Structure 1
């Protein structure tokens, strides 16, 4: 159970390998310091920040972003370290609001690698402060604990580091801000060069969490994206991303060694430990290498024809999942390299033009114009070279997508994939589920599936708020509510379709009955546990039954007696679709929804909200934990998801049934027929 900490409270840490997830409503800088038993930071090599992101057992983000995921392995932290302090700061130099009092309260959570929260803390009460010590992980009698600190500093990072007795505090603070302002963290290398046969470098390592372990998304899972997403922007902070879809929305980082040592006479960097192990938690041995490609290049120097399933994994499903993840990573990194190259070309041209203008001699004759023309020519050459590399990589990824898409199993496939026409109810749960597609503007012909791991680690929020569509037009509120519920029905149908018969149950709350038309496929085929609940009484009944189920399962698990559950209790995975929130909900119902969002996923109860955040603003901060617990999706294309490396704003397109298609009716009919014996 998650511990919601207040300032000064502490909580034991049950494991050594952790993530620290940060969510804010504006880009912030995240860092960490290593301190001795007195809290003293002995040198700049004891500080992890965007310019030097990795220390033994610790890695922080390389850029300013609205969401962060920090990787921690306490077993790899040197023995001399007794405290790990998590630092948050607003960028200096007019790049942001300048003080935490002008933005939403930052939220920090300590989670396991599986996304389960251990402790969380919302940092309230900040005003003029521009830097804050959010959390502190500390040793106590051989065990590690986390403490909510929330100590703010109006003097920024320099004052914070000075308070931790760092001698070079002001110089390091300047270096951190320069790294952020100069875009050091955004200069991401291009993907590793393909091997001789044109494939990604193959490793026999265990597969990492997919893009859904974001979020983010950009934070965030996002996979591909989850929660834990990669790549999503949590609680609608646009963007994460999720979970990098975000995390909100992501493949987990793997820290390298300590930074460079400082001058003589200063303490050396902490030593010992090693990289954090982010291997699959259910895999004890390395995954087998991928099968050799079945197609070869036509000639020397020609790229290999892509092969579906050409990745590590124990099964074709896992190999395809990891291949999709590799495509997502390749596209993110090659686009980042292109953008970085263009930024460099722009800054170089500006510098050269400034030099021309500042030299009085260039104003005589045609020397100035010639120098300006030369600067523009060099700029065009650099941009052209970067574009050629990007086009080459995008062409290779597009060819790979053309091969991979038809080979995807139903759980990973679009609704228009022929695999759905031969659909049969599966015998086991797949690894992941497709919830849409991701694009980048520089490579709009490449579509990356947004995959989230199963069982769901967090609920879904289908945002029915007013939003612009791809063509720039705006849908009114009624249209967006209809589209939102149709998207929710499509997602729910996918979840029903990928679970074995009787192992997934869907409930619907529609207080005003406004969603009857969109809900018709679920109602007509009989896949719902009961007709949609109407009115306040129906809403209260469904929420009471689901919260009671969560309580009973939690008590049984804590007591070590899962067989002691009451007879007849439905132990299948449960999904509650809530339409038209907050209409028809009182404070008690809202608190029950919060409880289901926080505690439900761990015991198989999941929430899918179809709601407009602005219409729910009347509840104030009461709903913030609810939105933060959900992965935000939209019924129309939107760029709210982000990847976990460089924070690209990915365009998300929902997975919807093509107009006029009968595939949804076919799938739900099969599901209903398979579950009838279980309903008797």
Structure 2
């Protein structure tokens, strides 16, 4: 089934050999750029275009046309390639007939298909006006798997501006070379697609169903996700590999039908489907002319409302990241332009006579102000739309995604199934302070958590004394643990606590008083040794059973629930053996359902030297106060993280944990 993407959404790719089909209604130029893990294009040899249509794993058409097919073989890409950006451009003057901007033509339609013509994902690029070049979509590698993301980033300056924005030093020369190749017809034309067949002649297969996005880390995996932040290789001229075999029989082939012998491909209707779609998401009433569409909760792709909301949240994260990056880039450009103009004015001796110098400087500052105002206007417009979307999405979130002050907790019931993700807090950027993007982490946990009780880079943390930071850190850990207990079915999540000196007794009260802990918090060196020994033995037993192919061979009565160990006041009460056991649990535990949550100040364990560096790196660092320590690798923003604290005076934590404890009693399961 086809995933119909909107700007910023992504979709997994289950095939490595693909076609990218483009329908524009007017002649356009199609190209593709290869990028490293940071999205950087290292040189002109990383771009496939009409003048150089073939790169390892990639082949593009050789001429401007209304319809295109690009051949992609992801397995043939070198390890240095992490991103494939599909680029569309209107022909430059002299490059054939065509309007000067995308806003004057029908919205281009792009589809990713298998070699048999089965659509995997599609995207209609709307909202273009003065742009003459656009990054339509990108295929990107994340943790060994490939995905497609709808981008739709346009450039009024054409391919030259697009390549410059991608960091290519030879942007102007490459854009000129592409224009010349198109204008002079240096390569053969792409064969036009066949005429549209009748409905009865179509031969289509259903695509694989959509699955939830895997951010592969913590963000915003903006993500997201949230990328969440999780998340090069230098090519030696991209060594030659066997490229993909185009399904249309090669550029300029007379028979552009799929190699599988199926029916001809229908290009004329971008929304065609032949199999039953998933239940449609809710739709908003039509917006008045000239007004943006009213946002609706759950209008992203997905097979369930939970998956749609999850995808929508990550779409919001990516939209906020992209629009903020565009604003910052525009401001940087305005400042660099002003600096250059001021330098030119000062270097000209004639400007020192009379008021010419002052006038030049004033004009430069005025142009800078206009550029910044234009950028801010565009940012405010996008932010207003995101604020409106957040206002309808937040109240619709399920408990696993919702803040503690969300009314959904008033109707809380212990769930029967594990949710796809968990909210660990909120993310925001300084340019968009009113917007809070939920930071969602996929379940089950793939790495442990570290609640940093030391001094952070935030103002709140720098003025809080050590005692207050430790208390806030334990309270934050309790809020995270309570949420984990609340979103798992009864008896499928077990929490253990190590509190060697008993310093966290007051903050741990919600867990101890409601009876949701497996046992009272372990204290003293003996308690540390007993809990760590028991959980280490558990990891060993499960690993041996799995490696031996006999998961049913575990001892009778073995607790198969997910295990969480909360460690407070580390390294107090830990000897060298206990430290090694803790490292072992952090490394090996998540794969067999044993997870770690550290509440610690790294400086207090500095006596161990580099021995503990791998431990801290293996954990996702969170803070008990707002702190701008999370960075996404997508655009490089430093996101401010805000912990999910319970509102002062609220009893929601106690009420939820009481229900969890009641559901765990043997008679209630």
TM-score range, shorter chain: 0.5 to 0.7
Match of 1:600 in 2: 589
TM-aligned CA distance change 1:208 to 1:318, over 3 Å = closer
Q: 2:245, 2:649 → 1: CA distance?
A: 56
Q: 2:550, 2:377 → 1: CA distance?
A: 62
Q: CA offset at residue 625 of structure 1?
A: 1.0
- Contact 1:287/1:314 (CA < 8 Å) preserved in 2? no
Q: CA offset at residue 678 of structure 1?
A: 7.6
Q: CA offset at residue 620 of structure 1?
A: 1.2
> Does the alignment pair 1:77 with 2:80?
no
Q: CA offset at residue 537 of structure 1?
A: 0.7
Match of 1:291 in 2: 281
Match of 1:45 in 2: 45
Q: 2:242, 2:80 → 1: CA distance?
A: 15
Deviations 1:624-661 (A, max 9, x none): 11111111100000001122311111111000111100
Q: Give the 5 Å matches for 1:534-573.
A: 534-573=523-562
Match of 2:650 in 1: 661
TM-aligned CA distance change 1:568 to 1:469, over 3 Å = same
Q: 1:377, 1:270 → 2: CA distance?
A: 53
SS of residue matched to 1:614? helix
Match of 2:156 in 1: none
Query: Which of 338, 362, 377 lines up with 1:349 in the alignment?
Result: 338
Q: 2:471, 2:599 → 1: CA distance?
A: 10
Query: Which of 393, 402, 407 lines up with 1:404 in the alignment?
Result: 393
Gaps of at least 5 residues in structure 1 are: 1-14, 18-28, 34-40, 49-53, 59-72, 87-109, 115-174, 185-202, 232-243, 248-252, 276-284
Q: CA offset at residue 222 of structure 1?
A: 6.3
TM-aligned CA distance change 1:505 to 1:77, over 3 Å = same
Deviations 1:513-541 (A, max 9, x none): 11100011100000000000001111011
TM-aligned CA distance change 1:75 to 1:388, over 3 Å = closer
Gaps of at least 5 residues in structure 2 are: 1-13, 17-35, 49-53, 59-71, 83-141, 147-162, 173-206, 247-274
- Contact 2:460/2:626 (CA < 8 Å) preserved in 1? no
Q: 1:183, 1:637 → 2: CA distance?
A: 40
Q: CA offset at residue 477 of structure 1?
A: 1.1
Match of 2:154 in 1: none
Match of 2:377 in 1: 388
SS of residue matched to 2:603? coil
Q: 1:32, 1:340 → 2: CA distance?
A: 16
Deviations 1:447-499 (A, max 9, x none): 10000000011110000001355558511111111100000000000000000
Q: 1:571, 1:205 → 2: CA distance?
A: 30
- Contact 2:300/2:311 (CA < 8 Å) preserved in 1? yes
Q: 1:517, 1:55 → 2: CA distance?
A: 63
Q: CA offset at residue 45 of structure 1?
A: 3.2
Q: 2:325, 2:449 → 1: CA distance?
A: 29
Query: Which of 576, 591, 602 lines up with 1:613 in the alignment?
Result: 602
- Contact 1:332/1:643 (CA < 8 Å) preserved in 2? no
Q: Give the 5 Å matches for 1:10-21.
A: none
Match of 2:63 in 1: none
- Contact 1:290/1:311 (CA < 8 Å) preserved in 2? no
Deviations 1:119-158 (A, max 9, x none): xxxxxxxxxxxxxxxxxxxxxxxxxxxxxxxxxxxxxxxx
TM-aligned CA distance change 1:678 to 1:292, over 3 Å = closer
Match of 1:145 in 2: none
Match of 1:628 in 2: 617
- Contact 1:540/1:589 (CA < 8 Å) preserved in 2? yes
Query: Which of 440, 443, 446 lines up with 2:435 in the alignment?
Result: 446
Match of 2:448 in 1: 459
Q: Which has the larger radius of gyration?
A: 2
TM-aligned CA distance change 1:292 to 1:571, over 3 Å = closer
> Does the alignment pair 1:583 with 2:572?
yes
Deviations 1:282-312 (A, max 9, x none): xxx9984852513321x20111221000100
TM-aligned CA distance change 1:490 to 1:113, over 3 Å = farther
Larger RCO, structure (CA 8 Å, separation 6 or more): 1
Q: Give the 5 Å matches for 1:128-147.
A: none
Aligned CA-pair RMSD: 3.9
Q: 2:313, 2:502 → 1: CA distance?
A: 40
Q: Give the 5 Å matches for 1:241-260.
A: 244=229, 246-247=230-231
Q: 1:384, 1:636 → 2: CA distance?
A: 33
Q: CA offset at residue 401 of structure 1?
A: 0.3
Q: CA offset at residue 614 of structure 1?
A: 1.2
> Does the alignment pair 1:327 with 2:298?
no
TM-aligned CA distance change 1:222 to 1:646, over 3 Å = closer
TM-aligned CA distance change 1:378 to 1:293, over 3 Å = same
Q: 1:478, 1:627 → 2: CA distance?
A: 22
- Contact 2:390/2:435 (CA < 8 Å) preserved in 1? yes
Instruction: Report the TM-score when normalising by structure 1.
Output: 0.64
Q: 1:493, 1:673 → 2: CA distance?
A: 14
- Contact 1:460/1:631 (CA < 8 Å) preserved in 2? yes
Match of 2:479 in 1: 490
Q: 1:75, 1:181 → 2: CA distance?
A: 26
Equivalences, count: 480
Deviations 1:405-438 (A, max 9, x none): 0000000000000110111100000010001001
TM-aligned CA distance change 1:608 to 1:182, over 3 Å = farther
Match of 2:520 in 1: 531
- Contact 1:511/1:539 (CA < 8 Å) preserved in 2? yes
Q: 1:532, 1:287 → 2: CA distance?
A: 50
SS of residue matched to 2:602? coil
> Does the alignment pair 1:213 with 2:216?
yes
Q: 2:590, 2:171 → 1: CA distance?
A: 38
Q: 2:39, 2:628 → 1: CA distance?
A: 30
Q: 1:355, 1:333 → 2: CA distance?
A: 33
Instruction: Report the TM-score when normalising by structure 2.
Output: 0.65
SS of residue matched to 2:604? coil
